[in-house]
Amino acid sequence: MEPLAREVWGLISQLWLAERPRINDELAALGLHPMQALALRHLEQDRPEPMRALADTLRCDASNITGIADRLEAAGYVERRPSPEDRRVKTLVLTDSGARARAKLAEIWTTPPPPIAALAEDDLETVRDILQRALAASPRA
């Protein structure tokens, strides 16, 4: 195992875990629990998503999606819509209100913590370029 990569990821973990309380607070202020927020994050407008696919993406049992979808539907953020191709499948679609909530989530997840916000412009550019390259090179991230 590459010790340098481990060191870098350790620093990233440290930064993220320190931000976790702030992020959860802001999600709660929006009336969303973490898993509801992650579900919303993986939905896109005009792209109905089978509940089963969402369970795979979030890596949780299908039975949990029922409750998460119930609450997102009660909040008016998603709608259940039967699939025209397979009558067993129900898809979730973002409402306009859901799309607005999703945009606020993106704000929350991109708000940098003090150590990142304080970095100089050229350091930020350097890190951005490397991380973008890393994400472009590796599939499924």
Partner DNA sequence: TATTGTTATACTCTATAACTATA
Partner DNA sequence: TATAGTTATAGAGTATAACAATA
Exposed, middle or buried by CB within 10 Å (0-12, 13-18, 19+), for 92?
buried
Helix (H) or strand (E) holding 79: strand 78-82
Residue number, 66 or 111, with CB nearest to DNA: 66
Task: List b or e across 33-65, with b for residues whose CB sees 16 or more CB atoms inside 10 angstroms.
Answer: eebbbbbbeebeeeebbbbeebbeebeeeeeeb
Token readout for 140 is 């499924």
Instruction: Identify what 64 binds: a copy of itself, DNA, none; CB under 5 to 8 Å per kind.
Output: DNA
55 binds DNA (CB under 7 A): yes
Instruction: Identify what 137 binds: DNA, a copy of itself, none; CB under 5 to 8 Å per kind.
Output: a copy of itself
27 binds DNA (CB under 7 A): no
Instruction: Identify what 90 binds: a copy of itself, DNA, none; CB under 5 to 8 Å per kind.
Output: DNA
Site residues for a copy of itself per CB under 8 A: 1-2, 4-18, 20-21, 24-25, 38, 41, 58-59, 106, 109-119, 121, 123-128, 130-135, 137-138, 140-141
Sole window of 6-14, 81-89, 101-109, 126-134 interacting with DNA (rule: CB under 7 A): 81-89
3-state SS class at 10: helix
User: What CA–CA distance (Å, rounded) separates 86 from 67?
Assistant: 22
- Written as one string, the DSSP assignment of 84-109 is SS-TT-EEEEE-HHHHHHHHHHHHHH
Q: Nearest approach, Cβ of 14 to DNA (angstroms)?
A: 18
Which residues are at the interface with DNA (CB under 7 A)? 28, 33-36, 50-52, 55, 58-69, 71, 80, 83, 86-91
